[in-house]
Amino acid sequence: MTTPKAGKPVSIDDVATAAGVSTATVSRILNAPKLVAPATATRVMRVIKRLGYRPNRFAQGLMTRRSRVLGIVLPDMHGEFYSELLRGANARARRSSYHLLVTADGAADHGPDPIATAPFGLIDGLALMLTEPNEHLWKEARQSGLPMVVLDADLDAEGVDSVLIDNTSGAGEAIAHLLSSVPASRCYFVGGPRDNFDTGQRAATFTRALRGARHRPRPDQTAYGTYSPQWGRTWGAGMLERAGTGVIGVMAADDEIALGVLDALLAAGRSVPDDARIVGFNDSRLASLLRPALSSVRVPLAEVGAAAVEALINRIQHPESPVVRKTMPTQLMVRESSRGERPGPPDAPPRGIRRRSGSGSS
């Protein structure tokens, strides 16, 4: 009696039979306990435990059309950036008993089947991160008819929830900070891909600020590339050839690029921050670990992920609620790489870091 039938998993029928009730009652005990007499409930629960019964999720989903799984599509999954975002998203999801089905669409994401179609049928909602235009994916997502929230892309016009990063304020702070110690004519913005959403906003803020400082931005003050140290280095090297002497200010579209620029400058014997003030973006862990420590605009990635999931869950539970767009705050973290005229703390060591300037051991 106690031994479950070998092989086949326990079904609701097994429980019902074993407990001497109908399957309806068993189901109710699990989903709406208040509808069942306490005595029956505890009795049946015991049987459930004993048999190790687990409702079949597929059967359940077939009826309820819910799986408590959320899909999240990222442009890529490389690096801390997405890892942090995912972490926040996952934590928030778990808090509401949801799980995350993640995919890096990776641009060239096409299996034998139509793209992401497989899981579309299994998830309750979709969080979509589109840092660059992706018509195909976007269409596919819309067609799915799933509740959905968009990350880091301005699609409000389309009437869908979105979670954004407040690029304007963060970038504004950063450029203002640079302008406080560097003339506008000697400030540069080193971006990621030209059509990247964040890069676009940050660049716009940059030029706006220059204009605000009564300077008409030259074309060479804004450059586009990729989110990589390599691009930063390339830009840095080129810059060194063009720019004369005197301090310059660099606002990079992310820390990777900033790091590359920093590297190129140090390698060329420049001192940072004395010869150049550099500010990155995202405040990745890298930033504070670098020497000189990199000033950077902190973006609350984990919170972004969490907010997205939260919005999504809300949309699932209240399909008719008004479209919401949430903007996450950013904040400039000033570190060594950009300290200008301001005096350091009293015990500050001699300013400026120059690669390889040390001699041997003491």
Partner DNA sequence: TCCGCCCATGAAAGCGGTTCCATTCGCGGC
Partner DNA sequence: GCCGCGAATGGAACCGCTTTCATGGGCGGA
- Residue 111 sits in the site that holds a copy of itself (CB under 8 A): yes
Q: Which is nearer to DNA, 17 or 327 (CB)?
A: 17
Which of a copy of itself, DNA, none interacts with 83 (beta carbon under 5 to 8 A by kind)?
A: a copy of itself
- Residue 279 sits in the site that holds a copy of itself (CB under 8 A): no
- Residue 1 sits in the site that holds a copy of itself (CB under 8 A): no
- Residue 226 sits in the site that holds a copy of itself (CB under 8 A): no
CB of 274 to a copy of itself, least distance (A): 4
- Residue 268 sits in the site that holds a copy of itself (CB under 8 A): no
Bond before 217 cis per omega within 30 degrees: no
Could you tell me the two tokens for 46? 């015991």
Q: Using alpha carbons only, how large is the chain's radius of gyration in Å?
A: 27
Q: Which stretch binds a copy of itself (CB under 8 A): 14-22, 67-75, 234-242, 337-345?
A: 67-75
- Residue 355 sits in the site that holds a copy of itself (CB under 8 A): yes
For residue 250, how many C-alpha atoms fall within 13 Å in the half-sphere facing its CB?
Answer: 35
User: Looking only at residues 330 through 349 of this chain, which bind a copy of itself when binding is defined by CB under 8 A?
Assistant: 349
Could you tell me the two tokens for 205? 């803020």
Q: Which is nearer to a copy of itself, 162 or 337 (CB)?
A: 337
CB of 69 to DNA, least distance (A): 16
Q: How far apart are CA 43 and CA 189, in angstroms?
A: 69
Q: How far apart are CA 306 and CA 293, in angstroms?
A: 28
- Residue 290 sits in the site that holds a copy of itself (CB under 8 A): yes
Q: How far apart are CA 254 and CA 199, in angstroms?
A: 9
Exactly one of 1, 39, 157, 289 binds a copy of itself (CB under 8 A); that residue is: 289
CB of 73 to DNA, least distance (A): 23
Q: How far apart are CA 123 and CA 101, in angstroms?
A: 8
- Residue 230 sits in the site that holds a copy of itself (CB under 8 A): no
Q: How far apart are CA 179 and CA 133, in angstroms?
A: 32
Q: Which is nearer to a copy of itself, 247 or 324 (CB)?
A: 247
Q: Residue 27 contacts by C-beta under 8 Å, 6 or more apart in sequence?
A: 12
Which residues contact DNA (rule: CB under 7 A)?
8-13, 20-28, 30-32, 35-37, 39-41, 53-56, 59-60, 62-64
Question: Strand locations in 152-294, DSSP E?
Answer: 161-165, 187-190, 222-223, 248-252, 276-282
The one-letter code for the residue type at 343 is P
Question: Phi/psi at 148 (nearest 5 deg)?
Answer: -155, 155
CB of 310 to DNA, least distance (A): 24
Mark residues 43-62: x for contact with a copy of itself by CB under 8 A, - for none.
---------x-xxxxxxxxx
